[in-house]
Structure 1
């Protein structure tokens, strides 16, 4: 049990690191020529295929693997005192794992397909690329409903079980609600969820590494 909690804590910290790395990469490093024509865009993607594939590997597939460890560790931690809520939260957590990993596989396989096709038919390749991006957004980035429900329900379960600091759980409720509300396509909600999750994952990881399950938390902590 204790070793699983430590693994969960490490996984949560890695989730935060992956989030930060993705924000930095797409915000400061990645310079996709959005205003260029299709041939120029696919030339850019071809030149940077390895980089983008590795980023997708980390941002989706590794994220999903660490998330699976964290979902299991958190379920084990709160299931005795909040069995129904923790079980329901874990269902959404497991679904989120599958969606995130599937997004990464679709993105990387699709990238290779459109780069190969673009040599003969750039317009058709661009159409397929737009479809792939829409699919990946729908599953793992454009909305965060499933992930939001996991964080929300888990935080409510932790509040009932008095398992983590209350401020951390209230943060989880806020972040989870923001994620759930991304059913309405507003960029601000997605950004709030992403930035909030960085803080939530990091704080959660530290708590899981330093505090044993069953620790009682004061009302102001």
Structure 2
């Protein structure tokens, strides 16, 4: 695992965009195509707006999500909507997008959406993760009743989680899927999250789900801090 520290969030976003773009190009050069799974929320927006201008063979990239809220496309809380608005434009508009929630029916029945996604599962090659101040990553929350299933299932894929403190059910990649990626980038910003990251690096525990990614996937894992 490598850790890169940046003086500002803008520097972090630029450095991360360059690294993700280079990782995609390496994968495309090796096998002709690449699957990129990104996180939502407001934190990655600055990186998306830089990554979409990178000289990547976007027509050979499939973009999907690490996790998604069970809300219809266009909803203010939709990660898919965020990706369409901030990443899938300009050069990156040539990429193919595979949302986790395709329509209102998926939002109403996320278990059915998960069954569909797992039936056609494609392993992401490059994964961009964030981390909450509670130590969750993707939608693997310590307080979700489905956490153990998300951590213990040996087959990479998706599952539904119901975090107690979150307003929506979630669809998320499981731990096996995160660990199977060729490259993982974890972006962490601010002193509060830096303190959580330091704890997660000291001990692998389900109480801090991100710690299990850090402990089990050292090769090919880069942490970008600001």
Name the TM-score class by shorter chain. Answer: under 0.3
Larger Rg belongs to? 1
Q: When you count helix as a share of all residues, which structure comes out higher?
A: 1
TM-score normalised to the size of structure 1?
0.26
TM-score normalised to the size of structure 2?
0.26
